[in-house]
Amino acid sequence: MAKSVAKPGKSSADATAKTADTLVNDNVVIENQPVATEQDETEISVEKKLVALHSLQQIDSQIDRIRIIRGELPLEVEDLEDEIAGLETRIDNHIQEIQSLEKQISDKQISIKESQNLIKRYEEQQNNVRNNREYDALTKEIEFQSLEIQLAEKRIREFNMQHGKFSEEIENAQAVLQERRNDLEIKRSELADIVTETELEEKELMRKSEAQQKFIEDRLLLAYKRIRKNARNGLAVVTVERDACGGCFSAIPPQRQLDIRMHRKIIVCEYCGRILVDKELASSIKI
């Protein structure tokens, strides 16, 4: 009796080739990705991490571009504010020094009057002396008070010179201060206009960035932020472009490129330390 021949069934390769229309992860859309089997659980886990990292990088890069549009204005505003604070402090210090000088001048003027009064008294006493010894003693006192007057007058001249110097410095500083305040007002106005134009977009991107970070484990997120901080262009996740790292443009060996496309582990560039993503995966992500 002839045995019946079973019709060949679909292979396991055909089964895993089934595709889902889309896989949605918050703001990230991956189109035409294979449906994962239990054997692919580890691969998909790493792939999701790469998707989340690349998506976060795209969002953060858009935030960086908005901040670049602002240019150096925030720093210029901060520098002007610091310079104005410094000028105000210098003017206040000079005012206090002038007040101190004025007090010292007043004290010296009082001292001069006291010495002059003593001289008059000593001169009157000379008319009533009984001997040369008393006369010589009064003469020495008059000479001493005269020297005190000369010294006080010298100090007053010095104080007046310092007073004039500080007054001139205050006048110059106030002129510069007024210019800097005008510059600061202009810069703040320019910055406010730019911030108004980009504020809503930046807030939305910041919200997306924070939401995307929730899909990345803390250790990986910390590494991402560290790489971004050290990179001049703020790129921590880059694609492989023309067999080279998209960050430092160093050549990547073929075997390493294959490992990157397999999504079995997160691979970083041996030269710059950036996280590498294959171009196919990157092109499938939309923000």
Query: What architecture (CATH level 2) is domain 73-208?
Result: Orthogonal Bundle (1.10)
Per-residue pLDDT of the chain (287 residues; tens, 9 = 90+): 444 444 444 333 343 333 333 333 333 333 333 433 444 444 447 888 888 888 888 888 888 888 887 777 888 899 999 999 999 999 999 999 999 999 999 999 999 999 999 999 999 998 888 888 989 999 999 999 999 999 999 999 999 999 999 999 999 999 999 999 999 999 999 888 888 877 778 888 888 888 888 888 888 889 898 988 888 788 988 889 888 988 889 898 888 888 888 888 888 888 888 989 888 888 877 66
> Can you tell me the distance from the alpha carbon of 159 to that of 105, in angstroms, rounded to the nearest whole number?
7
Q: Answer whether 203's CB lies under 8 Å from 35's CB.
A: no
In this prediction the pTM is 0.50
Helices (H) and strands (E) in the chain, counts: 7, 6
Domain range summary for the chain, segments of one domain joined by +:
18-70+217-286, 73-208
Question: What separation, in Å, do the N-terminal and C-terminal C-alpha atoms of the chain show?
Answer: 64
